[in-house]
Amino acid sequence: MLVMVGAVGCAAPRTAVRVTGPAGAVMVLSGKEYGLPATVEFERPRRARESRESPVGFRFPVEGRVMVAEGVLRTYGYEERELDRLSVNTCEIGEGEVARLMEGYALIFDGYSASKQAIFKMTIGAKR
């Protein structure tokens, strides 16, 4: 007689976010690299009011060299509604934001679902 024992679990829910950046920019999350623009799956907690932190990094080409930024991506659990499933979440990192990084500023990007629930907060700064 063969008895199979296994763990049955569900993968953590994910939220797709369209991340854009200057030409040649790369985002690094969970050991994966994404050439921007890219749709990146942010893993999030199942329950509303819970959060999860992950390290995040970026490489931005600036004047013939590469500027490295790093920080933290905090994702939030939320009650996904039909409106949220039909919408596209975005995070836009423009040339102006990259210039601010080069000046030494930290940047904070807050993302909200179409139903106005917090889905992520990303804080990044230039690597020193």
* Domain assignment of residue 7, yes or no: no
Which pLDDT does position 7 carry in this prediction?
A: 46
**Domain count of the fold of the chain:** 1
Residue 3 covered by a domain: no
> Which whole-number Å values give the CA distances from 104 to 67, 84, 99, in the listed order?
12, 35, 9
CATH number at residue 99: 2.60.40
The answer to whether position 2 is within a domain reads no
Mean pLDDT of 60-72: 96
> pLDDT at position 128, please?
82
The answer to whether position 19 is within a domain reads yes
Say how far apart CA 65 and CA 62 lie, in whole Å.
5
pTM of the complete model: 0.87
Assess if residue 9 is contained within a domain.
no
Mean per-residue pLDDT, 9-27: 90
Quote the CA–CA distance of 88 and 90 in Å, as a whole number: 6
| Domain membership of residue 100 as a residue range | 14-126
